[in-house]
A and B are shown apart, each in its own frame.
Chain A
Amino acid sequence: MNRGVRLKKTSKKLYPLQKFLNPTKIYIPLIAHKSENLTVLVKKDDSVIEGEMVAKSKGDFRIPLHTSISGKVLDFTEKYYLNNQKVRCVVVENENVDKLGEEEYKLNDYTREQVINKLKENGIVGLSGTGFPAYVKFDNDLKTLIVNAVESDPDTMADAALLNEKCEEILEVSDALVEIFGMNEGLIAVKKNDWADKKVINNYIGTYVKLKLVEVPDYYTAGWERELVRRVKHINYKNYPTEKGVIVCNVATIYAIYETLKYNQPLIERIVTFNGDKLKNHANVLVKIGTPVRDVIEFLGGTLPGEKMLIANGPLMGASIASDDLVISSDLTCVSVISTQEENIESVCIRCGECVLVCPAKLSPVLIKEATETAAQFRPHKCVSCGLCSYICPARIDLRTKVEKAKEDKA
């Protein structure tokens, strides 16, 4: 029932893919699935090699964290994380040790249990921002794999860049996963108007009988898991799509699974989009997890003069970070350096109802804002923080914050 909102892209061209794989120091953020409750497995002055486990989360999921370069553990320090809070990090100095010879495995030799174990050992988590461990998702009775190549934020292109570069690999591993888990089909979901993506997928998809390209319209939140499953498979589910035998994986996650299965490589790299009007060169950069954002910005040629803001994870869902002391974690997709915006001035709500029409979670933000004490009845916990209500509001009311507050109050 909600009306999607089509957001304008500032750049029609795909940013070039660049590699920044040799930082002098990395800072592995000790945070997994938004929880800082971890066991640290290294101490100061230890020598670590690329891919070695440095910490493991304590909760139900036991997600391991790995160092992304070889070198010496220098210290523990605090760096900025996506939510503009500081997080403890392991500092590793790069000693430029060559990686050990890579062993190659055949994808089709894996059994179901082996894949799940591999994903668990190598700490593969959702790379679209959720950080949900992949092995939990795969450990279900599955019928359909949906590879999500729909990027919601208009100027985030990390997935598109990856798809252009590694399309063969992505299709190969998707097909292998469909086979191994005995699924009926694998669907690659792209936006209708992403002609370049569609072209490159169509080049290779012919070889795979069970893979299909599906198109979704271009509007914001089309890439949201629930919305995608509803649109592609016409299925509604309660908590997770795996209840109905559907698994949704982001393109980046699928590629990480490929690297894990093929080369036994843990989650140590990802592609991050760097954009914004105050950045000299825009690019999609392949980086080691733990690289400070400052280094990447310098590598790209630095920023333009003037007052700036640093936004992590896109203009609608992201947060502005107080310092470029931010480190790249597995759930960072986009870094924008933009010119300073004015403090938002809210005017009176005219009750136009636009926020109700655009909310993909079927909430009524204006009513949540008005109801102060009984807000729990309005199911604010369904909010996905997409930010559309704040985006659309003609009175410029920050509805997202208000709904999120109601969500917290309820919890």
Chain B
Amino acid sequence: MKFKTLTGPYLRENQKASVIMNHLMLALIPIIIFTTYKNGYLPYREGYYDFIMIFYPLFFIAIAAITCVITETLFFWLRKENVWETLKKSHAIFPGLFVALVLPINTPIYILIIGCLVATIVGKLIFGGFGYNIFNPALLGVLFVMSIYGATIMDSGGYLNPYEADTISQATPLSTEVEGIGGYSSLVEPYGQLSDFFIGTIPGTVGETSALLIILAFFYLAINRMIKWRITTTYVATVFIMTYLIGSLNDFGAWYPLFHIFSGGLLFGAVFMATDPVTSPTTPVGQLLFGLFLGILTVILRFLSPYPEGVLTAILTMNLLVFILDKIGRRARFNFAHSAFGFIIAWILIVSVSLLVASGFDRDSKDDDFVINEIKEEDNQVIYNVSQRGFSGWIEAEVILENGAIVDFIIIAQTESYWQRIENADYITQLLEADDFTEVDAVSSATITCDSLQAILQNVQEDYHE
């Protein structure tokens, strides 16, 4: 009798790549529902939205997903491939979903679409499609959008939904000039308690705020062997250890490391973005090192650099190094000593970066927020050139006094996120015209900037009278 021959094995585990992606989708659904509640239902309940706007977050996410699918369809159609078959294997929806979940809810739709196009085309298709990309496509798209349209996004509302915009003065917990430096009162209290961070009713991007749901998703995916859990755990543990060191050296207490883990995109990045199978190491030791260095980079970017998006930049940077980590990891499988060098460097960095950050931690005192650059005296006028710390940077201004009274107030340079609102309200003029500028009401959603502007005048007056 003749038999058909095939190369083996003839027994395969009943798990396909597409099943993994379905589980990932399933893990994202609670997060999408939560953001609909937080960014759609809550503002509606408080009367900021029409009923239909409850579904705006869903619409926002759907637009992103559809953009990505359409882009890939067009791409395959132009390349004359079998569109349906290729599309099934390409998992086109995910870059879109992640772009939407990592951007602020107030991002104008055209910017969202640009982000998705960059994610799909630059991040994925030009590398050869799903499975061949070096960088996480979604993060590449978000980085592009944030660096080019960052100001536009902030002007159109940024991270705060309308309800939050009225109740919370500061954009996100990590949006001060150097992220995450300060005490409990300035970091946590503006948003409630640490439990709000855990549940997710704080400002932030669309999908990243609910630590609870992300942790649940992590356990679901890890138990079903869908993600590389080593990356997530070492990443979060490294950030915890470093911020714990920094916190304890400054007597901050136990809330401080937790604040750092629950705020910003750290958990979302660690669970969903860093573990993206295509762009992360395949070897166990490589994954451990990947997580360690992600943690170190994130802390460095949060504390020592003025740029936002620490998690995003850290992951994209480490994506570049995956092949080196895999090389180390591959050798370490035969002899663990081959990877000792990597771990030693990681631990030296963890300790030294923590100490460096902790030692430079005296920016809290109020005195440093006001600097007099120059005092000129012309006729009977005194011209003060001063700098004052504002909401997201320094405000440089000129104040002109005549016989002890303020006659003019000129802003020379500022980097405030919500400056547009100050201008719209003509706040400067209000300050000048008021009898007592301390009684002028702050512009809503820009209270910190308003306080800073008042502080300039107050500080100048005090200096003059001395």
Contact = CB atoms under 8 A, between A and B. Distances in A.
Interface of A: 1, 5, 7, 84, 294, 307-311, 315-324, 336, 338, 340-341, 343-344, 347-354, 356-357, 362-364, 366-367, 378-379, 387, 390-396, 398, 400-401
Interface string B7-48: 111111101110110000000000000000000000000000
17 contacts: A1-B333, A7-B11, A315-B10, A322-B5, A347-B17, A349-B131, A350-B17, A351-B278, A353-B277, A353-B287, A356-B283, A367-B330, A391-B12, A391-B13, A393-B12, A396-B16, A401-B7
B284 interface: yes
Nearest to B329: A364
Given A309-B3, A321-B5, A400-B9, A366 B282 contact: yes
Contacts of A400: 8-9
A400 B10 CA distance: 12
Nearest to A308: B3
B8 A356 contact: no
A401 B9 CA distance: 10
Given A316-B11, A351-B282, A400-B9, A394 B16 contact: yes
Contacts, number: 138
The listed residue with most A CB atoms (<10 A of its CB), out of B19, B129, B130, B326, is B326
B130 A348 contact: yes
B260 interface: no
B15 A348 contact: no
Question: Which label, helix, strand, loop or mixed, suits the secondary structure of the B interface?
Answer: loop
Nearest to A321: B3
B199 to A, nearest CB: 32
A408 to B, nearest CB: 14
A363 B326 CA distance: 12
A365 to B, nearest CB: 9
Interface of B: 1-13, 15-17, 19-20, 89, 129-132, 225, 228, 277-284, 287, 326, 329-330, 333-334
A236 to B, nearest CB: 11
Contacts of A348: 17, 89, 129-132
Given A309-B3, A324-B3, A353-B287, A364 B333 contact: yes
A343 B8 CA distance: 10
A363 B13 CA distance: 20
B282 A364 contact: yes
6 A-B pairs closest in CB distance: A348-B131, A353-B282, A315-B11, A387-B9, A315-B10, A362-B333
Contacts of A351: 131, 277-280, 282
Contacts of B279: 351
B275 to A, nearest CB: 10
Contacts of B130: 348, 350
A344 B16 CA distance: 12
Contacts of A308: 3-4
Contact of B3 (A322, A387, A392): A322
A379 B330 CA distance: 10
B6 A309 contact: yes
